[in-house]
Amino acid sequence: MSIYDTLNEQQKLGVTTTEGPVLILAGAGSGKTRVLTHRTAYLIEEKGINPYHIMAITFTNKAAGEMRERIDAMVGYGSESIWVSTFHSTCVRILRRHIDRIGYDTNFTIYDADDSKSVMKEICKRLNIDTKIYKERSLLAAISSAKDELIAPDDFALKAAGDFGKRRQAEVYREYQNVLKKNNALDFDDLIVKTVELLRNDAEVLAYYQERFRYIVVDEYQDTNTAQFELIRLLAGKYKNLCVVGDDDQSIYKFRGANIYNILNFEKHFPDAVTIKLEQNYRSTQNILDAANGVIANNVGRKRKSLWTANDRGEQIDFEQFDTAYDEADFVARDIQSGIRNGKFGYGDYAVLYRTNAQSRLFEERFITSNIPYKIVGGVNFYARKEVKDLLAYLKTIDNARDDLAVRRIINVPKRGIGATTLNRVSDYAEDYGISFYDALKQADEIPSLGKAAAKIRPFVTFIQTMRSKLPYLGVSELLREVIEETGYVKELEAEDTEEAQVRIENIDEFISKAVSYEENEEQPSLGGFLEEVALVADIDGLEEGNEYVVLMTLHSAKGLEFPKVYLAGMEDGLFPSYMSIVSDNATEELEEERRLAYVGITRAKKELAITCARQRMIRGETQYNKVSRFVKEIPAELLSGEIRKPSYGESREQKLPVRPKRPAVSRQPSGQSMQAKAFASARTVGGSLDYGVGDRVSHVKFGNGTVTGIVEGGRDFEVTVAFDTAGTKKMFASFAKLKKI
């Protein structure tokens, strides 16, 4: 019996179609890795191709290592000649031999993220760039995006004409590249860009590698960016024996530069391409696949295919709608405990997937109190995240400044120019006089060795003392908001304007929600009590972790994984799909990316899938009233065991999408009335007087269609904020706006 007899017909076609360009559309769980390894073996054993002429490219070292192991096991002798590596490793090997042809030495240095940041710091200083306006991370992100698209500094400058901010970025980009060239260094993006430049400009080198790599296979092709596409196009230019494997329905990394049109337009780039669809799924039940098919079919920008399986139909998808996010987390914890007691699953069989990192908090806290072992995959436990630890350190210092670690953590957050030498001198003084580090800071003017540095310490001490004086008058959440506002912590992150900064802001919002929740559930809330409660749930190091634990992760982190039972949590419009995708100028494409993410989440489940959502959820300390995600409604009703409840009349008026408005100054609301209750009462008042509410779609005679994101009662009239589809966000008085609900 041949090794190829174990393949289904479409898989066999993918293995044996070896000449010319081939696009293998590999649906989730359809066995693409088997096709890749068997194809490589087929080329060598059946077609007589020298392993030296075969190249396999993937994205991660782990994926490349696994592919190498499988190919070695299958092919045996000669397999070591096959070039199996990541895009970056491939380019390093090529550049080490030939980069001297484009003006670099072959012993070039590769700069990591920290090296790049150091270079950017120096450039900003030299060019007098205001890093409060143009954050270093933001500038580096703009340069990286340009390189992904093969946009050189000169081209970037041409496109920036007329836009002062872009012109500033162009100036920095040019200088950044000059510094790297002077230092004979490349950053990670340059590894691809410079290889493309080399192949484009040196016909001899291009001919050598085209001859070397007569058969090329690229895995996860839907995740390639423009620079990676051009690299592959050049290498395959002579023989065109290019086989790309991927799934456009699982293209979810646009924010990292992935260009879905590389896979959607493959036949346009290679007109004689053969397309093979792998639609038989070996992972999931048919009900789960039907749900995934039902959702993804709503995307227009895709290649049509439909997953099917020879597995059982399986159980219906468990849809659960709860009143609050806490109830949602409680259900998941109880359901897991029930499955463990019944012997149905082990802890390692469960995964809880969510759209944003911040959603992990409620599940973590509930799992800790229930003694459920868990692990955050692709992230950090909530209370161990830098931004949360920073704000906790501020609260600890305000409450009781005897925690030297907390004080030292935040004395330079934000930067106050207090150097290590100064801190060591303060520490020595504290030790000499047997006082705490903070008490020594208070006496900075009396420490002779500090000199002028004492002036930098004074504002920090004044701030902490001011916050302490407000303790009798401010609740925990108000105090936290004031710390955030006065330190400019979130403003700095907003100025960064990066994906990482956005995630950190969401975590801060969730920390505010934790503070508000504590106040509402405690008879006599206090800062000390709050810190004590957090300490109890944050002591995750004491959690027993055996070989088995429930996995908590974002949907982006879950790609490529599978679990017997999956919970898709927070399936609400405004959360998933995200509010920003709903109101984006490019809403159609953004929503299609979100829908692909939902498809990825659904297809992680092998045997059982539970979809959960909450009718109200606390975002940034305020209650948001959310509709069930449109993606849930796209699942055929007969596949769901639960029912989507229609909101009552009053509730429909209160529905509110989680928008992030500009942060107002800290309010001084009376203690005893929670912010949640106040927001709820305001929504009821407004909702009863207008024929539209927050979250509703409206039209304006001049600005067109948009979504209402805020309504404020202002005496005789209402101030309405609308995020218009094309005109941006506008504030207006209701009587003049004459908005019509659509």
Confidence (pLDDT) at 136 = 87
CA pseudo-torsion sign 365, 366, 369, 373 = negative
Query: What is the C-alpha to C-alpha distance for residues 57 and 219, in angstroms, rounded to an integer?
Result: 6
Contacting residues for 353 by C-beta, under 8 A, at least 6 apart: 553, 554, 555, 558, 566, 567, 568, 569, 601, 604
Residue 143 token pair = 């340069």
Let me know: does 276 contact 31? Beta carbons within 8 Å: no
Q: Which of 181-190, 225-234, 596-605 has the lowest mean pLDDT?
A: 181-190
Backbone angles phi, psi at 713, to 5 degrees: -75, 125
The residue whose two tokens read 């297809």 is 603
Question: Phi-psi bin for 618: left (phi > 0), alpha (psi -120 to 50), beta?
Answer: beta
- Residue from 671, 677, 741, 606 nearest 286 by CA: 606
Beta bridge partners of 187: 111
247-305 pLDDT, tens digit each: 999 999 988 889 999 999 999 999 999 999 999 999 999 999 999 999 999 999 899 99
Query: What is the C-alpha to C-alpha distance for residues 633 and 577, in angstroms, rounded to an integer?
Result: 12
715, pLDDT greater than 60: no
Bond preceding residue 577 cis, omega within 30 of 0: yes
Residue 587 token pair = 């809403």
Residue 560 token pair = 């490529």
Sheet containing 242-246, strands listed edge to edge, beginning at the edge strand earlier in sequence: 83-86, 54-58, 215-218, 242-246, 22-26, 274-278
Residue 684 a catalytic site member: no
Average pLDDT over residues 443-466: 87
Local confidence band at 1 (pLDDT 50, 70, 90 cut-offs): low
Beta bridge partners of 713: 718
82-116 pLDDT, tens digit each: 888 889 989 999 999 999 999 999 888 888 888 89
Query: What is the C-alpha to C-alpha distance for residues 368 and 390, in angstroms, rounded to an integer?
Result: 23
116-158 pLDDT, tens digit each: 988 998 999 889 888 878 888 889 999 999 999 999 999 999 9
Query: What is the C-alpha to C-alpha distance for residues 585 and 578, in angstroms, rounded to an integer?
Result: 14
Query: What is the C-alpha to C-alpha distance for residues 264 and 369, in angstroms, rounded to an integer?
Result: 47
Residue 220 a catalytic site member: yes
The answer to pTM > 0.85 is no
**Greater model confidence, 489 or 542:** 489
Indicate which residue of 32, 70, 137, 620 is catalytic. Answer: 32
Average pLDDT over residues 671-686: 35
Bond preceding residue 414 cis, omega within 30 of 0: yes
Average pLDDT over residues 441-465: 87
CA pseudo-torsion sign 604, 609, 611, 612 = negative
Query: What is the C-alpha to C-alpha distance for residues 272 and 613, in angstroms, rounded to an integer?
Result: 47
> What are the C-alpha distances in Å from 726 to residues 21, 579, 700, 705, 711?
40, 16, 12, 8, 20
Q: Which of 3-7, 277-281, 401-405, 586-590 has the lowest mean pLDDT?
A: 401-405
554-602 pLDDT, tens digit each: 999 999 899 999 999 999 999 999 988 998 888 899 999 999 999 999 9
Let me know: does 437 contact 461? Beta carbons within 8 Å: no
DSSP 525-573: --HHHHHHHHHHHH-GGGS---S--EEEEEHHHHTT--EEEEEE---BT
Question: Phi-psi bin for 656: left (phi > 0), alpha (psi -120 to 50), beta?
Answer: beta
Indicate which residue of 189, 220, 223, 290 is catalytic. Answer: 220
Indicate which residue of 219, 349, 365, 496 is catalytic. Answer: 219
Residue 32 a catalytic site member: yes
Helical spans, DSSP H, in 149-282: 153-159, 164-182, 188-201, 203-212, 226-235, 261-264, 266-269
Confidence (pLDDT) at 657 = 41
Three-state helix/strand/coil letters over 10-68 = HHHHHHHCCCCCEEEEECCCCCHHHHHHHHHHHHHHCCCCCHHHEEEEECCHHHHHHHH
The residue whose two tokens read 């927001």 is 679
Tell me the percentage of the chain whose pLDDT exceeds 90. Answer: 52
Indicate which residue of 16, 17, 18, 33 is catalytic. Answer: 33
385, pLDDT greater than 70: yes
Residue 219 a catalytic site member: yes
Let me know: does 456 contact 416? Beta carbons within 8 Å: yes
Confidence (pLDDT) at 452 = 83
Q: Which amino acid is present at 383? A: Y
Residue 336 token pair = 């897991």
Confidence (pLDDT) at 538 = 66
Residue 740 token pair = 């019509």
Q: Give the chain's mean pLDDT.
A: 86
542, pLDDT greater than 70: no
Residue 566 token pair = 């999956």
Confidence (pLDDT) at 679 = 33
Confidence (pLDDT) at 189 = 94
Q: Which of 196-210, 228-242, 486-500 has the lowest mean pLDDT?
A: 486-500
The burial class, CB within 10 Å (0-12 / 13-18 / 19+), for 690 is middle
* Highest mean pLDDT out of 209-218, 367-376, 438-447, 489-498: 209-218
Q: Which amino acid is present at 73? A: A
Confidence (pLDDT) at 598 = 97
Residue 250 a catalytic site member: yes
Confidence (pLDDT) at 689 = 67
Backbone angles phi, psi at 268, to 5 degrees: -75, -40
Indicate which residue of 10, 250, 498, 603 is catalytic. Answer: 250
DSSP 410-477: HTTSS-----HHHHHHHHHHHHHHT--HHHHHHTGGG-GGGGGGHHHHHHHHHHHHHHHHTTTT--HH
* Highest mean pLDDT out of 125-129, 340-344, 377-381: 340-344
Tell me the percentage of the chain whose pLDDT exceeds 70. Answer: 91
Q: H or E element: which one contains 79?
A: none
603-618 pLDDT, tens digit each: 999 999 999 999 999 8
∠ CA 534-535-539, nearest 5°, is 115
Confidence (pLDDT) at 543 = 41
Indicate which residue of 361, 604, 620, 653 is catalytic. Answer: 604
Residue 323 a catalytic site member: no
Local confidence band at 545 (pLDDT 50, 70, 90 cut-offs): very low
DSSP 8-state secondary structure symbol assigned to residue 107: T
**Greater model confidence, 662 or 472:** 472
List, as own/partner pairs, every contact residues 194-197 make where C-beta atoms lie below 8 angstroms and the sequence separation is at least 24, other chains included: 194/91, 194/95, 194/99, 194/102, 194/104, 195/90, 195/91, 195/94, 195/95, 195/231, 196/150, 196/227, 196/230, 196/231, 196/234, 197/102
692, pLDDT greater than 70: yes
- Residue from 534, 130, 612, 571 nearest 335 by CA: 612
Residue 594 token pair = 């979100």
Query: What is the C-alpha to C-alpha distance for residues 350 and 689, in angstroms, rounded to an integer?
Result: 47
22-64 pLDDT, tens digit each: 999 999 999 988 899 899 989 998 899 998 999 999 888 888 8
